[in-house]
Copies of this chain bind each other. A is one copy, B any other.
Amino acid sequence: MQKPVAICDPWPRSLDLMFTASDLSRLHTLVDLVTSDERQMPADKVDRTLPEAVFVLGQTDLPRERLARAPKLKAVLNVEGNFTGNIDYDTCFERGIHVLSVSPVFTETVAEMALGMAIDLGRGITRADRDFHAGREVFGLESNADAELLFDSPVGIIGYGDLARSFRPLLKPFRCPVKVYDPWLPDHVLVAEECRPAALDEVLSTSRYIFVFATVTASNEGFLGADQFAAMQKGAKFILVSRAGVVDFDAMLDAVARGHILAATDVFPQEPMPAGHRVREIDGLLLSAHRAGALDSVFKRMGTLLLGDMELMLKGLPPVGLKRAQRETVGALRSMAVTIS
Contact = CB atoms under 8 A, between A and B. Distances in A.
Interface of A: 17, 93-96, 108-109, 112-113, 115-117, 119-120, 123-126, 128-135, 137-141, 143-145, 147-151, 169-170, 172-175, 184-189, 194, 271-273, 275, 279-281, 286-292, 294-299, 301, 304-305, 307-309, 311-313, 316-318, 320-321, 326-329, 340-341
Given A120-B126, A135-B280, A289-B132, A308 B151 contact: no
Q: Within the oligomer, what is the number of copies of this chain? A: 4
Contact of A295 (B108, B149, B194, B275): B149
Given A188-B308, A296-B141, A125 B133 contact: no
Nearest to A138: B289
Given A149-B108, A317-B329, A271 B135 contact: no
Contact of A173 (B133, B170, B312): B170
Chain A at the B interface: mostly helix, strand, loop or mixed?
Answer: helix
17 contacts: A112-B150, A119-B119, A120-B125, A125-B286, A129-B286, A139-B290, A139-B340, A140-B290, A140-B340, A143-B289, A144-B295, A149-B295, A172-B173, A184-B312, A186-B320, A188-B304, A189-B308
B291 A143 contact: yes
Contact of A186 (B141, B312, B316): B312
